[in-house]
Structure 1
Amino acid sequence: MAAARLALSVLVLMLAAVTLTEGLRGAGPKRCCFRFNENEVPKDKVVGYIRTSQRCPKPAVLLKTVAGRQLCARPTDAWVKELISYLAAKSVAGETSNL
């Protein structure tokens, strides 16, 4: 009987420790991309971008369009790199993104 209580106590303590460590990690990423836009988006249709969290399984860039949509794009695609450079040059120093 004492061995069963000890085993149950150890199990409860282990579950509590796991729950605590998972809780300390914090919330997961707000948005990750699993499918990507393959077509180039015209520069005049994009108003901003953000990079997804490093905790996402695939690196991505979220492009915000003038229509308010968010499109997933691969940061390694040449057209995405060019678009990011264009947006960076277009932004005013000290301005923050509204994404």
Structure 2
Amino acid sequence: MPFSEWITAKKEEEEHHHHHHPFADTIMKTLCFSLGLLLIVCCCDGAIPNALRNITPRNCCFNFYKGSLPLNVVSDIIKTHSSCQYKAFIVRTIRGNKICYSQTFPWAKNVFNKLHKTEDSIQSS
């Protein structure tokens, strides 16, 4: 039997024995979609915490620095998340260090008010 006839015979045999089930197609499509979605979630999982890093309780403070810093080394100051056990400020220095201060520490309160003065005045008007 020539190869081309064998291929044709094989196709006819498969079509004869293969019963088409619409329900099976639906199950396969659902399974493929679910696996694809799972793959996307697993691949993107690392990016989500980075986007939420500044608003999640990971940036909580438990030890507080009690000295003041020169203002020219402070690049930013933020409040810790409201779900943290202790209310604190996190001061970021121009070198990228993060230092925790209690929200009751006068120096930190003054720096926060100075750096966030424009935002507060915009919100209050």
Deviations 1:27-84 (A, max 9, x none): x612110000111111111010111111111111100000100000011111111111
Q: 2:99 aligns with which of 61, 65, 71?
A: 71
Instruction: Count how many residue pairs are aligned between Structure 1 and Structure 2.
Output: 66
The code of the aligned residue for 1:40 comes to S
User: Are residue 45 (structure 1) and residue 73 (structure 2) matched?
Assistant: yes
Give unmatched runs, 5+ long, in structure 1.
1-27, 95-99
The code of the aligned residue for 1:39 comes to G
Question: Which is richer in helix?
Answer: 2
The structure whose RCO (Cα within 8 Å, separation 6+) is larger is 1
Give unmatched runs, 5+ long, in structure 2.
1-55
Q: 8 Å contact 2:73–2:94 — kept in the other structure?
A: yes
Q: Which one has the largest radius of gyration?
A: 2
- Provide the C-alpha distance between the structure 2 equivalents of 1:29 and 1:62, rounded to a whole number of angstroms: 13
CA shift, 1:89, in A, is: 4.1
Deviating above 3 A after TM superposition, structure 1's stretches of 4 or more consecutive aligned residues are none
Calculate the aligned-residue CA RMSD, in Å: 2.2
| TM-score when normalising by structure 2 | 0.47
Q: 2:60 aligns with which of 2, 10, 32?
A: 32
Q: Percent identity?
A: 28
| TM-score when normalising by structure 1 | 0.58
